[in-house]
Amino acid sequence: HIFPICALNTINFVLKLHYWVFFLTTLLIFQAEIDVAVQLLLKLKTDYKHLTGQDYKAGCPPPENVVNQDNGAATDGIDEEDNVDPWNVSTSNAKGVDYDKLIVRFGSSKIETELVDRIEKVTGQKPHRFLRRGIFFSHRDMHQVLDAYEKNKSFYLYTGRGPSSEAMHVGHLIPFIFTKWLQDVFDIPLVIQLTDDEKYLWKDLAIEECHRFAVENAKDIIACGFDVNKTFIFSDFDYMGSSPEFYRNVVKIQKHVTYNQVKGIFGFTDSDCIGKISFPAIQAAPSFSNSFPQIFGGRKDVQCLIPCAIDQDPYFRMTRDVAPRIGYPKPALLHSSFFPALQGAQTKMSASDANSSIFLTDTPKQIKNKINKHAFSGGKDTIEEHRKFGGNPDVDVSFMYLTFFLDDDEQLEKIKQDYSSGALLTGELKKILIETLQPMIAQHQERRKQVTEETVKQFMTPRPLNFKL
């Protein structure tokens, strides 16, 4: 009877084997399904992070103002002819960047006539030509600022400049001329950030050079006529190290913005130095009033309004996104269009090309020669053709410059009509521009000469300012 037992054992073994094979196969198939599911979940989480810039938390909806990849990154495919970010501005259109499309792309609001009228009503002053002519064309939350101002809740101004060289051109003055007007009509304090650290990180310059440029540029800024009792100008290299409150805000911002977010907003890549990646927090910090305890006495709720060129908006989209998460009000913004290069509105002027713009140090003769030689003309090739068909002011740089600097609306309108009809020749148009810019630059140079080292020191010393909130 040994045999049957062996046979039974064998059968038992085979049955057990079948059972295990079946069990293990099922387990393996099941495991594969779990793997697929885990992969899928992981992908969903990384997609979520990619889109929102934040880690996924179960049961937590994404924040309202999600800063995502197509919020202003250089290549979003909506309008390929325009490229606008803090370091590059270019377009293939001779009339310049399409600002209406930019408003849609950046998600800001257009400055409508209604808003300009409201500013006039609230301040009791004729709106600045930059507002009348749509040179400041876009905003964020300006109505809220005015609502509060009407209820006696004041605000402060913040603007800045990256000091990349000693030479400033007329285009650089646009935000400062406008900010000076805002300071006057609203009677409010102003902080001006000179990002010498930004220029050190982005350009091939030494720290000492960048800091020196900051002080030199401060003189041109002061020459715009700011009130020393209401204005604080600071170099990042100086102020960051001396103000614990400022640095605390920088770090707070750094903690609440991910690498994904800045990558999406600014287009940083893996080979950008970490200084660039964290810099946006430094440009964001002055938007919060407690970064300046000497001015606001530690208050963190004073509303900030930032006049700037539209290419700076990415910094402030990021700022507005973090503000409520760290318990601060979002800064409001007023955006300007770009000042065109002499060669045409396709590009912003470059401080490194002497012929691309009128510099604040140019002599009357240089101004005349540059305009006559380099200002792109919308006129016709011959006088006969010009008289017959007229010129095109929309692409004519001399005419564009006049819209920035000639204050008389009626005179400007007449020039436009006459140029379009052919009654006014290109040479005559250029002459009007030359005669507008020469005294303007000469006066600037005169005011800059009055700015002593002592004055600069006064403006750049952290101190209380004179105002009521």
Using CB under 6 A, which of the segments 5-13, 155-163, 352-360, 426-434 binds ligand TRP?
A: 155-163
Residue from 111, 257, 306, 310 touching ligand TRP (CB under 6 A): that is 306
Distances (CA, A) of 271 to 44, 171, 192, 275, 279: 27, 32, 31, 11, 15
Residue 162 within binding range of ligand TRP, rule CB under 6 A:
yes
d(CA 136, CA 144): 18
Beta bridge partners of 359: 169
Contacts (Cβ under 8 Å, ≥6 apart) of 190 = 156, 157, 158, 159, 179, 183, 226, 230, 231, 232
Residue from 283, 346, 377, 420 touching ligand TRP (CB under 6 A): that is 283
Helix (H, G, I), strand (E, B) or coil at 382: coil
- Least separation in angstroms between residue 164's CB and ligand TRP is 7
Residue 308 within binding range of ligand TRP, rule CB under 6 A:
yes
Residue 179 within binding range of ligand TRP, rule CB under 6 A:
no
Residue from 72, 96, 160, 391 touching ligand TRP (CB under 6 A): that is 160
Helix (H, G, I), strand (E, B) or coil at 308: strand
Residue 312 within binding range of ligand TRP, rule CB under 6 A:
yes
* Dihedral over alpha carbons 437, 440, 441, 446 (to 10 degrees): 160
The DSSP result for 175-238, as a single string, is HHHHHHHHHHHHT--EEEEE-HHHHHHHSS--HHHHHHHHHHHHHHHHTTT--TTTEEEEEHHH
Stretch 64-93: interaction string toward ligand TRP, x if CB under 6 A: ----------------------x-------
Using CB under 6 A, which of the segments 156-164, 324-332, 359-367, 381-389 binds ligand TRP?
A: 156-164
How buried is residue 373: exposed, middle or buried, by Cβ count under 10 Å (0-12/13-18/19+)?
A: exposed
Cβ proximity to ligand TRP: between 195 and 235 the closer is 195
The DSSP result for 322-356, as a single string, is HGGGGT-PPPEEEEE-PPEETTEEEEE--TT-GGG
Contacts (Cβ under 8 Å, ≥6 apart) of 339 = 170, 171, 174, 348, 349, 357, 404
Residue 231 within binding range of ligand TRP, rule CB under 6 A:
no
Residue from 54, 108, 159, 398 touching ligand TRP (CB under 6 A): that is 159
Q: How many residues bind ligand TRP (CB under 6 A)?
A: 13
- Least separation in angstroms between residue 431's CB and ligand TRP is 33
Residue 195 within binding range of ligand TRP, rule CB under 6 A:
yes
Residue 303 within binding range of ligand TRP, rule CB under 6 A:
no
Using CB under 6 A, which of the segments 14-22, 193-201, 346-354, 458-466 binds ligand TRP?
A: 193-201
- Least separation in angstroms between residue 461's CB and ligand TRP is 19
Using CB under 6 A, which of the segments 157-165, 245-253, 374-382, 449-457 binds ligand TRP?
A: 157-165
Cβ proximity to ligand TRP: between 86 and 379 the closer is 86
Q: Which of residues 406-465 bind ligand TRP (CB under 6 A)?
A: none
Residue from 193, 231, 243, 289 touching ligand TRP (CB under 6 A): that is 193
Q: Which of residues 334-353 bind ligand TRP (CB under 6 A)?
A: none
Residue from 141, 196, 198, 396 touching ligand TRP (CB under 6 A): that is 198
The DSSP result for 399-433, as a single string, is HHHHHHH---HHHHHHHHHHHHHTSS-HHHHHHHH
Cβ–Cβ < 8 Å for 152, 188: no
Q: What is the contact surface with ligand TRP in residues (CB under 6 A)?
A: 86, 158-162, 193, 195, 198, 283, 306, 308, 312
